A and B are shown apart, each in its own frame.
Chain A
């Protein structure tokens, strides 16, 4: 998995993030409304794109974009 692809797909998925503005070490809460609705949109996105399942606790523990990427990548690898 490539973190740049991962980021550009997230930028496409969320209306309030402009293309090429998200960086790996950005704090999620500072970049956009990281609320329950957006969390579900993210869950749906990784389910379709990467065929993995993420729990609520795992999402809460993820603070940065890189955390999310590492989480998804580890799930893809252990599939």
Chain B
């Protein structure tokens, strides 16, 4: 068990950006109309935003960061740390964080690097940025998270295509002496590495001509080895087994109760899974915001996107206690309790490319 505190960090602002193009699951003609109806009701995704080829996660994060920095009126030269959490980087080499440091006009004394995590990435990212800031690395920092997952998902894979949406987010963090600590509970089980995986294109399995061969996996599921595989039952059982004890251990460690948390912002996996976790934890629906219906599962962007889309009015003008929880690809999961105060939250940006 790894429960630890990161003190003195204030969340100054959060912003999110999505591509302009919208895909309605009502129009997903790979499956029958009746199947679509059941699917939309079960996964809770009516529509989501899809990137056109050529648009990257970093473009969406860049737009989010620009907007946020302008709103906060932060000097670029004051930002000494940028962490980019994503599994859809611009290039295999180099890291994307450097490109963003340059594009955003940050100084050369800025620390910048990538972290390869998905669903749990926002919570992990907060712990990394907050810890480095406490070691004196920076007074102001940017955490940029998100993914473009739709471009490497097969249209003819009903187990994955209707779920994912694309988004990129920016979170501005500042060192503030005496601010209530963030409290983390982070966990890993690499034994389930193949539950969500793109098999080819890394060093284990190079891209070969065969990587592009479409194969029938089962009824309604055709894909190649450069597409995302989502093993629904495995991910489902994992999440239903691990998220509840992770959240409860964190609360118990702080002598806190479900009642002490204003909002539980969960990674937006799918409605059935998230609702099952909500019921396991006996949390009332008003405390659990959803952005799934309009944006789908946006990987490491889902938590900040949900805050901006659903509870921005609540976090803008008052103090709130949030519990954020991400779980999935890795398998990796984690939760954090965050005290927020007047968070700057510009409305969701639409990327017109």
Contact = CB atoms under 8 A, between A and B. Distances in A.
Contacts of B240: 43-44, 47, 53
Contacts of A53: 237, 240-241
Nearest to A51: B280
Interface string A29-48: 00001011111110110011
Contacts of B236: 40, 43-44
Interface in B231-259: 232-234, 236-237, 240-241
Interface in B107-133: none
B293 interface: no
A55 interface: yes
B232 A36 contact: yes
A contact patch SS: helix
B contact patch SS: helix
Interface of B: 35, 38-39, 42, 159, 232-234, 236-237, 240-241, 272-273, 275-276, 279-280
A40 B272 contact: yes
Interface in A51-65: 53-56, 59
Interface residues of A, number: 18
Given A43-B240, A55-B237, 14 more contacts: A37-B42, A39-B233, A40-B233, A40-B236, A41-B272, A44-B273, A44-B275, A47-B276, A48-B276, A48-B280, A53-B237, A53-B241, A55-B233, A59-B233
B196 to A, nearest CB: 15
A52 B273 CA distance: 15
Contacts of B275: 44
B272 A44 contact: yes
Kindly list the 3 A-B residue pairs having the minimum CB-CB distance in the complex, ordered from nearest.
A56-B233, A44-B276, A47-B240
